[in-house]
Amino acid sequence: MRWTDVRFALRALAKSPAFFLLAAAGTGLGAAAITTVLSVAGATVIGALPYREAHRLAAVWDQLPKLDLPRFPLSIANYLTYRAQSDVFEDVAAFEPRALTITLGDRAERVAGMRASANLLPLLGGSTVIGRWFEPSQNHAGRTAVAVLSRAFWRSRFGGDHDVIGKQIRVDDAPHVVIGVLDGRFRFRLSGEEPGIWVPAGLDPGVDRTAGALRAVARLRRGVTPEAAQARMRTVAEDLKRRYRTGMGPHGEDAGYTVWVTPLGEELFGSMRPTMYALAAASAILLALGLANTALLWLGRAAGRRREAAVRLALGASRGRVGGQLVMEALLPSLAGGFLALALTLAALDALNAAPPEEMVAAGPVTAEYRVFGFALGLSAAAGVLFGVLPMRSLFQPGAEGPALRQDRGGIGERGQRRRQALLVGIQVGLSCALLAPSLMLVNSMAALERVNPGFRDRGLLTATVSLPAARYRDRGQVVGYYRRLEDELARRFQAGNAAIVSRLPLGYPEGGDPFSIEGRAYGTTGALPQFAHQLPVGRDYLALMRIPLLSGRGFEDRDFAGDDQVALVNSTLAKAFWPRESPLGKRILMGAPRPGAQWMTIVGTVADVRTSALNRAPIPQIYRPYPQAHSRTMALVVDGAAPADLEPVLGTIDPGVPAHGIETIEEHIARTLARPRFWTALFSAYGLLASAVAAFGVYSLAVYAAIRRSREFALRAALGATGARLLGALLGETLRPAAMGAALGLGGAYAIARALAALLYNASAGNATAYLTAAALGLAIAALACGIGGRRALAADPAEVLRAE
């Protein structure tokens, strides 16, 4: 190719900027979509995790399947047993994500942290950039408290000072010595924020085999499959059941306790695999639409370019020179689309890395997959050349320019050519419908989700969380004393009834719950629901402030917060499931299984259901208790009529070393829980809109092309008395028939995508007929509108002028 060919192609395209922009945009959007999605898939469901020999890593959980608890944290005793007895693991490491209060000088702040066993870093293949990691002895009581910093935390708090090793910081109000800084390439972020500080996990089992709530990751021995490890660990679990009654109820009821072993990649990203498949399919459809749109644009442009090329050949230009210029002209929009695709891909990945969805945080930063980008760009370039040059192929036969000049004055459309046009229309409409229907389902699902009543007050409240350091608040009296002083100070500052405390805000509880027992009944074998619940220790005014109605019995009274009588309120779901034909008032329940020293709680009232886990999950059993009877070092505050700046003096008055964190309004709290479904809804809606726009441009281009190619036919029919509306109707009929067939076939693809997105749909199913009918109607309407506009413009020519040109 010569530089003059490039200049000629640029001049030719400059005469039709709209054509150039549309061709480049179709290529760019499709290539960007497929590159971005497969880059994400490569970092999650397809690619290897960023750890040493990641294919040998597995997550290890306890299971209580008869209580519907498929993933249950390991006790310290169970973890030590698994590590010591199993012959299928090279090693098993324990960890526990936990927010920590870090005090540097006079400043206390809450930081994402991780408690870890000493073998975690070597098991994963990580390293420190300065200093060292924990020693095994530091996982046990009585050893020097040490801390390892992440590289980001080290740089932001210590300015990258290498003298940080040996410095003392306070972690949860206990002195810790900094012994190392992790290599910045090591990331072990499973959810939430990346840990800024790592401390040893306490691994002293004590006398209670149920103590501890650890997560575990194991390295399989070479040649051992996850299935083999699973079978071996079930044997270990059976042995523990015989020896220690692990997972057994008070009367010997079996909760089905066993051990679950799954590849770490499956544990982290298995749930998002169907969504990624749907995204990949949607991206492939968008790329196919872009390629089809390129074909239609070039077919529409071919009529004018064919005559121009024939004139140049008639004037003596060589066929090689004309062909080279045509190829270059066809390549330039694809190349421009490639640059656009690369820019869009990098921008999308930057945004994704800055605020990744919850499912993707474990993957770390996602980089562009340039092999996919090259493949998509190659397809686009091939389509441009193929459809830009193919309509001109007859010109390169000797003596073809004369007939071409006569033919391109306007001929009657050939039947074969019409069939090809009909096929392209069906493809465009079908592919757009395949994306429109799932998009409509997600939009309807999101609208239904936002209409869900959460069961609590969702306006006008400020929320925050406080966490008491275990080093200073060791026993029940100290913890309860702090929260009593906090309640009194909140009542003084904001008036009684305008502030309350709770163990955790609604919508913030994990899926599942804690098992509970009912006096006089077998454990976990009765009731319409699995016998577990969310336990909510609350303050005096919490239920009233959150507007959670009392349905029967009484609410909590002052004596419940001061005395030793164990009482509880239960929600409607628990009452109906376990006492369907009688009142639960006066009945007694207990968290966990009956055991020495455990006190039964008497149910004194029932309250309305609250969505404790998520808006898209039905309420599960809930048990409210006065906080002195089930104290926790971490509690949430709920305040009416307060600003964030109002909380610091309140907490500073009680204990300046306990800062508030997670300060947000209740509206922000609810919006944060909806961020994930909103993200996927917005993403697939964008796909649906883009697909519709690309299809509309394609059908428009085809209508213009068809009308131009059949200008002589339409002129003759107009001369014989046919009206413009009749001619336009004929063009519409020829467009809508293949469009309807394409829409019907496209809905089959829509169903497959909707099935993959089933986990994201609330109160809807993949078989939503309304969404399919609406998508088909929209697809046909878009095709009709685009054809009408394109055809009307092309039919506006004077028939006399067209026939005179003959």
pLDDT attached to residue 360: 77
Instruction: Quote the pTM value.
Output: 0.79
C-alpha span between 311 and 806 (Å, rounded): 17
CB-CB neighbours of 732 under 10 Å? 17
129 or 369, which is more confident?
129
C-alpha span between 396 and 310 (Å, rounded): 10
Q: For 11-32, how does the pLDDT look when each residue is reduced to its tens digit (9 = 90+)?
A: 655 666 666 677 777 778 888 8
**Which pair of structure tokens corresponds to residue 566?**
């164990």
206 or 750, which is more confident?
750
pLDDT surpassing 90 at residue 571: yes
- The helix-helix angle for 415-450 and 724-756 (nearest 10°) equals 50
Tell me if residue 14 falls in helix, strand or coil. helix
Query: CA dist 738 to 424, 427, 741, 783, Å?
Result: 9, 9, 5, 10
Query: Is there a contact between 251 and 525 (Cβ–Cβ < 8 Å)?
Result: no
Q: What beta strand segments (E) does 343-467 contain?
A: 461-467
Query: CA dist 108 to 335, 462, 485, 656, 697, Å?
Result: 54, 21, 20, 8, 58
Q: For 383-433, how does the pLDDT look when each residue is reduced to its tens digit (9 = 90+)?
A: 777 766 666 655 555 554 455 445 544 444 455 566 777 787 888 888 889
Dihedral sign for Cα 437, 442, 443, 448, please.
Answer: positive
CB-CB neighbours of 207 under 10 Å? 6
Listed residue (441, 333, 434) closest to 692, CA to CA:
434
pLDDT attached to residue 517: 86
Spatial CB neighbours of 419, under 8 Å, sequence gap ≥ 6: none
CB-CB neighbours of 470 under 10 Å? 12
C-alpha span between 377 and 383 (Å, rounded): 10
Q: What is the DSSP letter of 214?
A: B
Concatenated DSSP letters of 595-622: -TT--PEEEEEEE-----S-TTS----E
The pair phi, psi for residue 519, each rounded to 5°, is: -60, 130
C-alpha span between 802 and 73 (Å, rounded): 80
- Across the range 694-699, mean pLDDT stands at 78
Q: What is the DSSP letter of 73?
A: P
C-alpha span between 197 and 109 (Å, rounded): 12
Q: Which residue has the tokens 């319409």?
A: 528
- The helix-helix angle for 724-756 and 769-794 (nearest 10°) equals 150
C-alpha span between 508 and 634 (Å, rounded): 13
Listed residue (522, 516, 525) closest to 624, CA to CA:
516
C-alpha span between 13 and 23 (Å, rounded): 11
Q: Which residue has the tokens 């305008």?
A: 498
Which span out of 153-157, 297-301, 380-384 was modeled with the highest average pLDDT?
Answer: 153-157
pLDDT attached to residue 528: 66
CB-CB neighbours of 633 under 10 Å? 17
pLDDT surpassing 90 at residue 523: no
Listed residue (138, 135, 142, 147) closest to 179, CA to CA:
147
- Please report which confidence band the pLDDT of residue 543 belongs to, taking 50, 70 and 90 as the band edges: very high
Query: CA dist 736 to 100, 249, 651, 710, 749, Å?
Result: 63, 67, 69, 18, 20
Listed residue (282, 273, 86, 167) closest to 753, CA to CA:
282
**Which pair of structure tokens corresponds to residue 123?**
């098991």
C-alpha span between 432 and 348 (Å, rounded): 22
Listed residue (152, 228, 157) closest to 194, CA to CA:
152
**Which pair of structure tokens corresponds to residue 22?**
């549309």
C-alpha span between 166 and 526 (Å, rounded): 57
Q: For 427-450, how does the pLDDT look when each residue is reduced to its tens digit (9 = 90+)?
A: 888 888 998 999 999 998 898 999
Alpha helices in 608-674 (DSSP H): 644-654, 666-673
Q: For 198-220, how does the pLDDT look when each residue is reduced to its tens digit (9 = 90+)?
A: 999 989 877 677 788 899 999 99
**The length of the chain, given as a count of residues:** 806
Q: For 36-78, how does the pLDDT look when each residue is reduced to its tens digit (9 = 90+)?
A: 888 888 888 777 788 889 899 999 999 888 777 788 899 999 9
